[in-house]
Amino acid sequence: MNTTTTTKKKGRGNSMGGVKKGKGNCVITIRYRTLILWFLSISIIVVSCSQIYFFTPQPPDEYNDEYDGRRRHGSSRHQHQSVRGGGDNPIIKKTTKRRTGSTTTDKPIYPVAIPSTIAFDATQSRLASFWAPLLNTNKDKTCPEGLITMNNSTPVLQTTATTEVNKTIFMYSLKRCVTEPLQKSIKEWQRIPGYDYELHDNDDVNELFLRNWTHYFPDLHKALFCLPQNGRSSPSKADLWRYLIMWERGGMYSDIDNVPGKDFRTRIPETITDGMLTLLNHNNELNQQLIAVASKHPFLYILIQYVIKRLLQIEDISTQNTFSITGPKPFRDMFFKFAGKKRILANKITPGIYPTHVAISDELQQRFVGESWMMNRTIEVIDGQVVGYISAQDKQLFYKKSGMIRWKGLKMHESNASCAKFVSRMLMDEWNNTIL
pLDDT of residue 432: 62
- CB-CB contact of 427 with 126 (8 Å): yes
Contacts for 41 with CB less than 8 Å, ≥ 6 apart: none
pLDDT of residue 269: 82
Give 389's strand partners: 258
pLDDT of residue 14: 44
pLDDT of residue 257: 93
The residue-averaged pLDDT of 263-278 equals 84
Share of the chain above pLDDT 90, in %: 40
pLDDT of residue 426: 87
pLDDT of residue 7: 44
- CB-CB contact of 147 with 178 (8 Å): yes
Show the domains of the chain with their CATH numbers: 1-41 (no CATH), 120-435 (3.90.550)
pLDDT of residue 307: 97
pLDDT of residue 379: 94
pLDDT of residue 125: 85
Share of the chain above pLDDT 70, in %: 67
Q: pLDDT tier at 30 (50, 70, 90 boundaries)?
A: low
Q: What is the pLDDT of residues 327-359, one digit of tens each?
A: 999 999 999 999 998 766 555 788 999 999 999
- How far apart, in whole angstroms, are the C-alpha atoms of residue 425 and residue 436? 18
- CB-CB contact of 354 with 381 (8 Å): yes
Contacts for 214 with CB less than 8 Å, ≥ 6 apart: 120
- CB-CB contact of 305 with 217 (8 Å): yes
Q: What angle do CA 118, 123, 124 make, to 5 degrees?
A: 145
The residue-averaged pLDDT of 293-310 equals 96
The residue-averaged pLDDT of 257-264 equals 93
- How far apart, in whole angstroms, are the C-alpha atoms of residue 29 and residue 185? 87
Q: pLDDT tier at 304 (50, 70, 90 boundaries)?
A: very high
- CB-CB contact of 402 with 177 (8 Å): yes
Q: What angle do CA 128, 134, 137 make, to 5 degrees?
A: 125
pLDDT of residue 139: 62
Read out DSSP for 135-174?
TTTT---PPPTT-EE---PPP----S--SB---EEEEE-S
Q: What is the pLDDT of residues 120-175, one digit of tens each?
A: 777 888 888 888 888 876 666 688 888 898 877 544 444 455 567 889 999 999 88
pLDDT of residue 134: 82
Model confidence at 403: pLDDT above 70: yes
Pairwise pLDDT comparison (59 vs 390), residue with the higher score? 390
The residue-averaged pLDDT of 54-82 equals 36
The residue-averaged pLDDT of 55-68 equals 35
Q: Which helix (H) or strand (E) holds 208?
A: helix 202-209
Q: What is the pLDDT of residues 87-102, one digit of tens each?
A: 333 333 333 333 333 3
Q: What angle do CA 71, 408, 348 make, to 5 degrees?
A: 25
Read out DSSP for 263-290?
THHHHS-SS-BSEEEEEE-TTS-EEEEE
- CB-CB contact of 402 with 394 (8 Å): no
- How far apart, in whole angstroms, are the C-alpha atoms of residue 51 and residue 231? 38
Q: pLDDT tier at 261 (50, 70, 90 boundaries)?
A: very high
The residue-averaged pLDDT of 24-32 equals 61
Q: Which helix (H) or strand (E) holds 352?
A: strand 352-355
Q: What is the pLDDT of residues 173-230, one digit of tens each?
A: 988 899 999 999 999 999 998 899 999 999 999 999 999 999 999 999 999 999 998 8
Model confidence at 12: pLDDT above 60: no
Q: pLDDT tier at 248 (50, 70, 90 boundaries)?
A: very high
Q: Are strands 387-389 and 6-8 parallel, antiparallel or unpaired?
A: unpaired
Largest CA distance in the chain: 114
The DSSP 8-state label assigned to residue 378 in this structure reads E
